Amino acid sequence: MTVSAAARPLWRPGSKSPAWLDGSLPGDFGFDPLALGEQPAALKWYAQAELQNARWAMLGAAGVLFQNVLDVLNAGGPAGQVPWFEAGAFTFFAPAQSLFVAQLFLFAFVEARRYQDYLKPGSANQDPIFAGNRLPDGNKPGYPGGIFDPMGFSKGADFETLKVKELKNGRLAMLACLGFAAQAKTTGQTPLANLSAHLADPWATNVISVEHARAL
């Protein structure tokens, strides 16, 4: 559904949306300064790529903060005391090599089916493992159904609104993950440790002061 130009919110009030961004995509606020989506095939690909990266970022940001909370509460055993940026060196219930190989096969299976659905929407609607699980006909690639929508959100009247909310949260999560990585590289601390230090002395502990200290 294309949103009329008058009723459509844009990323910068008063700006003009590119011709290829007509408001039909969830989360489309007319922002494409590098014209990455000018070609229809590229726009279709980038829309799916953003959706998937947004979901991974939300899981990643939640995982970083959850582990950090376990550390603060002295819970979760030894695993809860490992900073997220050092988790790869920690031995969990299996060796890292075994976990990597298992993840490689699982990711390959899932991503191959997702790509198949991207090329031919609806071709991967039937679950090859659980016979009773089938996505609804006419669904759009990348969106849930079947056992992956236990609350029935995709059947509600506000599904289009939920799509926009998901992307907004996903974009925020991508920025958060970038911030977590920058913090870890700059300070060697976790997000909550940095937040605590900043709140204790905002004027002396911030981005400018840290960069100034590194430059000296």
First to last CA, the chain: 55
pLDDT in tens, 131-177: 878 887 777 888 877 677 778 887 878 888 999 999 999 999 999 99
Please state the domain extents for the chain: 40-215
Cα gap 116→169, rounded to integer Å:
27
Measured CA distances, 8 to 51, 107, 169, 178 (Å): 21, 37, 20, 29
Question: Do 3 and 26 form a contact (C-beta atoms < 8 A)?
Answer: no
- Report the pLDDT value the prediction gives residue 78, as an integer from 0 to 100: 66
pLDDT in tens, 73-114: 886 666 667 788 887 777 777 887 888 899 999 999 989 988
> What's the rounded mean pLDDT across residues 113-129?
86
Question: CA angle 149-154-157, nearest 5°?
Answer: 145
| Total length of the chain | 216
pTM comes to 0.83
Pair of tokens at residue 106: 């699982």
Q: For residue 125, is pLDDT > 90? A: no
Pair of tokens at residue 15: 């700006």
Q: For residue 50, is pLDDT > 90? A: yes
Fold (topology level) of 40-215: Chlorophyll a-b binding protein (1.10.3460)
> What's the rounded mean pLDDT across residues 34-52?
93
